[in-house]
């Protein structure tokens, strides 16, 4: 499923003195297969934008197409289609483990499934839940009957993600997926997202404040600022102008900073901002 947005506008508290323009003529295309990064400082419109993707907030003005679903302001509203869309576009919010509420892992993951497929048989449900748990790296045998509240932070987050992917979404949107985890938890979760990207969810969209994470993992990045998309492209393009990145109050990824410093010192070379490519290109220079 491809996502196409054209000139999206959104205002909170419209017609009151607290009104805030959250999205300002936002246009972008996210292709099927992208591992897409959305960055920008707090209040730049990132969250408002992603909430549009499965119609959690209605489009006020502009065109938004998610696969075959037309969410544009002018399109006819179709509740049935909306439900289907929401099962296809999974949304994982910040700190999703705070939303766990059932007394077993199984029930919690099954909750999402039953919402979307109330007519499913017990076997179908059980199969879907176990599969989702397996996908996030939790053995159902071991975890299904445990209370989600006795798990570690990283495991809880996996359960929460399982509760979203249990409907087999084609697009998975995650708002700061690794925030608050310890380094090991972060590493493992990013690995999990790549695994899901390969096996399950064709498109992954992450909102992140960690520029290294974005440079390392995403093939495309959009930078939000004051409700507008101010830069979009590969990490290499987006981080090519250090001055502008600074002006947008963002940090440079480490590899971007190093590349820039090396250029200033007369070593010019091209790389895609991943550590792997950085090391490879340095080796080539070394060899001469």
Partner 1 sequence: MQAISFENVSYSYKQADAEYVRNAVDGVTLDIEEGKFIALLGANGSGKSTLAKLINGLLLPVSGEVKVFGKPTVGDDQNGLFEIRRRVGMVFQNPDNQQIASIVEDDIAFGPENIGIDREEIGRRIDRALKVTDMEAFRYSQVSRLSGGQKQRIAIAGALALEPDILILDESTSMLDPKGRKEVMEVARSLNREKGMTVINITHYMDEAAEADEIYLLKEGKLVKSGTPDEVFSDTATIRECGLELPRPAMLAEKLKAAGIISNVKITSKEELAEEICKSLRKN
Give me the residues that bind partner 1 (CB under 8 A), please.
Answer: 41-43, 95, 152-154, 179-185, 187, 209, 212, 249-251, 254-255, 257-258, 261-262, 265, 267, 275, 278-279, 282-283, 285-286, 288
The interaxial angle of helices 153-165 and 122-135, nearest 10 deg, is 130
Q: What distance in Å separates the CA atoms of residue 65 and residue 247, rounded to the nearest whole number?
A: 32
Q: What distance in Å separates the CA atoms of residue 137 and residue 234, rounded to the nearest whole number?
A: 30
The Cβ of residue 226 has, within 10 Å, a number of other Cβ atoms equal to: 14
Closer CB to partner 1, 41 or 125, in the complex? 41
Closer CB to partner 1, 84 or 209, in the complex? 209
Closer CB to partner 1, 5 or 215, in the complex? 215
CA angle 74, 79, 84 (to 5 degrees): 105
Closer CB to partner 1, 73 or 267, in the complex? 267
* Residue 70: CB minimum distance to partner 1, A: 33
Closer CB to partner 1, 230 or 258, in the complex? 258
Closer CB to partner 1, 2 or 274, in the complex? 274
The interaxial angle of helices 79-88 and 105-116, nearest 10 deg, is 140
The Cβ of residue 119 has, within 10 Å, a number of other Cβ atoms equal to: 6
Q: What distance in Å separates the CA atoms of residue 181 and residue 259, rounded to the nearest whole number?
A: 29
* Residue 267: CB minimum distance to partner 1, A: 5
Q: Both tokens of residue 100?
A: 């766990």
Backbone angles phi, psi at 183, to 5 degrees: -55, -40
Closer CB to partner 1, 155 or 167, in the complex? 155
* Residue 1: CB minimum distance to partner 1, A: 29
Q: Which residues pair with 63 in a beta bridge?
A: 6
Q: What distance in Å separates the CA atoms of residue 52 and residue 154, rounded to the nearest whole number?
A: 27
* Residue 104: CB minimum distance to partner 1, A: 16
* Residue 138: CB minimum distance to partner 1, A: 16
Closer CB to partner 1, 141 or 182, in the complex? 182
Between β-strands 89-92 and 35-39, what pairing exists: parallel, antiparallel or unpaired? unpaired
The Cβ of residue 249 has, within 10 Å, a number of other Cβ atoms equal to: 11
* Residue 271: CB minimum distance to partner 1, A: 13
Sign of CA pseudo-dihedral 240, 28, 12, 178 = negative
* Residue 79: CB minimum distance to partner 1, A: 33
Q: What residues contact residue 130 under an 8 Å CB cut-off, 6+ apart?
A: 140, 144
* Residue 250: CB minimum distance to partner 1, A: 8
């Amino acid at each position: 499923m491809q996502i196409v947005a054209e000139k999206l506008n959104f205002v909170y508290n419209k017609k009151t003195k607290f009104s805030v323009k959250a999205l300002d003529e936002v246009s972008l295309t996210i292709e099927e297969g992208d591992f897409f990064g959305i960055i920008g400082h707090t209040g730049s419109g990132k969250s408002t934008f992603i909430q549009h993707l499965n119609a959690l907030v209605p489009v006020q003005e502009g065109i938004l197409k998610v696969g075959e679903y037309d969410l544009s302001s002018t399109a006819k509203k179709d509740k049935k289609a909306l439900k289907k869309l929401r099962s296809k576009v999974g949304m994982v919010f910040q700190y999703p483990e705070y939303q766990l509420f059932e007394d077993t892992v199984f029930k919690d993951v099954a909750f999402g499934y039953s919402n979307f497929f109330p007519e499913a048989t017990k076997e179908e449900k059980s199969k879907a839940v176990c599969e989702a748990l397996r996908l996030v790296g939790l053995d159902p045998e071991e975890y299904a009957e445990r209370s989600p509240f006795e798990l570690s932070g990283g495991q809880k987050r996996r359960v929460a993600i399982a509760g979203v992917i249990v409907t087999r979404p084609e697009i998975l949107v995650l708002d700061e997926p690794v925030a608050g985890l310890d380094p090991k938890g972060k590493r493992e979760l990013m690995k999990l997202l790549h695994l899901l990207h390969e096996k399950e969810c064709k498109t992954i969209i992450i909102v992140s404040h960690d520029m290294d994470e974005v440079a390392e993992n995403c093939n495309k990045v959009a930078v939000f600022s004051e409700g507008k998309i101010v830069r979009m492209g590969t990490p290499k393009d987006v981080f090519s102008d250090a001055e502008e990145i600074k002006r947008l109050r963002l940090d440079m990824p480490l590899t971007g900073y190093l590349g820039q410093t090396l250029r200033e010192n007369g070593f010019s070379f091209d790389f895609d901002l991943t550590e792997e490519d950085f090391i490879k290109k340095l080796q080539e220079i070394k060899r001469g």
